Chains A and B, each alone.
Chain A
Amino acid sequence: MSEMQKIVILPYRKVLQIAFQGLRIRLVKTFLVTACIALALAFMTYILCSNGMLAGIAERASDALQQRLAREGLLEQMLSTEQRSQTAWMLGIAMMISFAGIVNAMLISVTERFREIGTMKCLGGLDSFIVKLYLVESLFQGIVGTVLGIIIGVALAYAEGIGRFGTEALRLLPMNDLLKALFICFWAGVGLTVVGALYPAWRAAKMEPIQAMRSEV
């Protein structure tokens, strides 16, 4: 077949267009998955921020606030080793729930489209096209969901902090630590979303088309 040429590698612009078209058409599902990511991230950000605030009380709270908390018996409780290990546990569990939630949402949204992946391969879609398509899709959902979640989480943590400690809450967590926490949350959210989508997409893309079409996960 001398006339045989190599198949075109679609430019990212085209892939982007297809990915967004798909996201728009599956609007409800896109929304649900993004909401799931946002929820997980809100949870994680909230826990990280409010823990940071509590940790800052001993060092940064004014004497007046410390005295008030001591009077209410709260200070001792907050600084007890028991409370601290409990907090660490909470943090760990929060992370795990968020991670599992995101990865699960992505796994499901990709595996339920294995047949579609197989079909695309039948029509001449390259493995790399499929991987790129899901990369773009999950990056978008990951970034939007994560940013939303972080905003909600920070807002919740500070709202609660202000409720408990007054405006001083804003000083309890130094800007540097806050940014560090947000940085961790952002990359955890986006990273988990992309990995959760790309792993099954890559697996399906590597399969023979008929296998991908047959696997009903």
Chain B
Amino acid sequence: MQVETDSKNTAPAADVKGSTQAVSALTATHIVRAIGVRKTFRMGDEEVHALKGVDFKVNRGEYIALMGPSGSGKSTLFNMIGGLDKPNAGRVFIDEVDIAALNTFELAWLRCHKIGYVFQTFNLIPVATALDNVMLPMLFADVPQAEAQDKAVELLKKVGLGERVFHKPVQMSGGQQQRVAVARALANDPAIVLADEPTGNLDSVTGRQIIELLREINQTDGVTVISATHDYKMLSVSDRIAWLTDGVIERFASRDELDIKEGRTDAK
């Protein structure tokens, strides 16, 4: 797994060359690149600086946890990376494409094909069955009905819900709903899965199952997983951890450093 220092060494060299080759070499490593991202919320006269210039790079195939106390800006950064909200300053590149430069169609395409989202509150369509929920992104991607259905069933089996295909969200536990959300996130074979506190509303055992599910997807399918979390269980599966405090990234820690320093939390 590529560590942060490595990517820092390659990036300037590529910039100097500026050739298309260098760009594609970059593409090969950084699936997400955020530069100087700032986000300010205005509430009446008061301004809340949720992100104060965040630089953030994610390698392809990495599992990265975004840790930090409540209110540190994790969700805000998550939303910027996922193209769910616009930064006030700075740029976000997904696969070296500046998402601010995308038109509505391209942005919808990106959300549909490149990124899978998992939310703390699951955000399933409440009236639709698990199957319909998983099929929805494929509908937007124009996958033929029969094919979409087969794939949705397959994905639901993969997340361990083969028996719950026709259940509606209200008929499922939180953990099961989150599994549906994970299956839905994988519907169009995204390169990135973004998960904002995927275990936030789950008990510790169910939470661990979701974390392990995400890790499995990351390892078997090579999907990059970016997860904002308070959950220390995430640390044991993450390749790298970004610590966010008060709107800035305080430091990065690689897995190896973590194993040494916080070996006790890494209960395997």
By a beta-carbon cutoff of 8 Å, the part of chain A in contact with chain B is 1, 4-8, 10, 14, 18, 21-22, 25-26, 115-116, 118-127, 129, 208-211, 213
Task: Please list the residues of chain B having a beta carbon within 8 angstroms of any beta carbon in chain A.
Answer: 79, 82, 84-86, 94-97, 104-106, 108-113, 117, 119, 123-128, 132, 136-137, 139-142, 184, 188
- The answer to whether B140 touches A7, judged by C-beta atoms less than 8 angstroms apart, is yes
Contact of B86 among A7, A21, A22, A208 (CB under 8 A): A208
Could you say which of B82, B127, B128 has the most chain A C-beta atoms within 10 Å of its C-beta?
A: B127
Residue among A4, A8, A22, A115 making CB contact with B106, cutoff 8 Å: A4
Known contacts A123-B136, A123-B137, A126-B104; decide if A6 and B109 are in contact (CB<8 Å).
yes
Check if B111 sits within 8 Å of A124, measured CB to CB.
yes
Q: Which residues of the partner chain B approach A6 to less than 8 Å between Cβ atoms?
A: 105-106, 109
Complex CA gap A210/B137 in Å reads 17
Partner of A120, one of B104, B105, B109, B136: B136
Among A5, A8, A21, A116, the residue within 8 A (CB) of B140 is A8
Closest A-chain residue to B123, C-beta based?
A: A119
Contacts of B105 in A (CB 8 A): 6-7, 126
**12 A–B contact pairs at CB < 8 A?**
A4-B109, A5-B109, A7-B109, A10-B139, A22-B127, A116-B125, A121-B111, A124-B137, A124-B140, A126-B140, A127-B104, A208-B86
Q: Nearest chain-A residue to B111 (Cβ)?
A: A124
Distance of A25 Cα from B131 Cα, bound (Å): 14
Majority secondary structure, A binding face:
helix
Q: With contacts A1-B97, A209-B84, A211-B85 known, is A7 near B112, CB below 8 A?
A: yes
Quote the shortest CB–CB distance from B148 to chain A (angstroms): 12
Other A-B pairs beyond A115-B123, A127-B104, 9, CB < 8 Å: A7-B140, A122-B82, A122-B123, A124-B108, A124-B140, A126-B108, A126-B140, A209-B85, A209-B111
Contacts of A5 in B (CB 8 A): 109
Chain B residue numbers with a CB within 8 Å of A121 are: 108, 111
B79 partner residues in chain A, CB cutoff 8 A: 210
Across the A-B interface, the 9 shortest Cβ-Cβ residue pairs = A124-B112, A124-B140, A8-B142, A210-B84, A25-B127, A7-B108, A123-B137, A6-B105, A7-B109
Closest to B187 in A: A123
Residue of A22, A115, A120, A210 ringed by the most chain B CB atoms within 10 A: A210
User: In angstroms, how far is the closest chain A Cβ from the Cβ of B88?
Assistant: 13
